Structure 1
C-alpha cells in the first residue's frame, strides 16, 4: 500500500489517502465531501557522487 496526497477541488483541503498503486479510486474530501484530485510532487531523492551517470563508466584516456 502506498500513500498519496489529494487536494479538494472545492475547499483546497490537502489530505493523504492510502491505496494500492494499481487502484485509481474516486476520492472525496473528508472535510466537505466534494471531489478531490491527486497531487503530484517531486521526490526527495538526490543522486550525487560518482556512479550514477553513464559517463562515469567511460575509460579516462
Structure 2
C-alpha cells in the first residue's frame, strides 16, 4: 500500500489516502464531499556517491 496526496478543488483541503499502487479510486474530500484530485510531486530520492554517475566507471589516470 502506498500513500498519495489529494487536493480538493472546492475547499483547497489537502489530505492523504492509502491505496494500492495499481488502484485509481475516485476519492471524495473528507471536509466537503467533492471529488478530489491526486497531487503529483517530485520524489525525495537523491542518488549520490560512488556508482551512480557515468564518470564513476571510467579508469583513473
Structure 2: which 5+ residue stretches go unaligned? none
| C-alpha RMSD over aligned residues | 1.1
TM-score, scaled to structure 2: 0.88
The 10-residue stretch of structure 1 (51-60 or 29-38) with the greater mean CA deviation from structure 2 = 51-60
The 10-residue stretch of structure 1 (46-55 or 20-29) with the greater mean CA deviation from structure 2 = 46-55
Q: d(CA) in 2 for partners of 1:56 and 1:38?
A: 38
TM-score, scaled to structure 1: 0.88
* Number of residues of Structure 1 aligned to a counterpart in Structure 2: 61
After the TM superposition, which segments of 4 or more aligned residues of structure 1 sit over 4 Å from their partners? none
Residue equivalent to 1:56 = 56
Q: 1:29 is paired with a residue of what secondary structure? A: coil
Structure 1: which 5+ residue stretches go unaligned? none
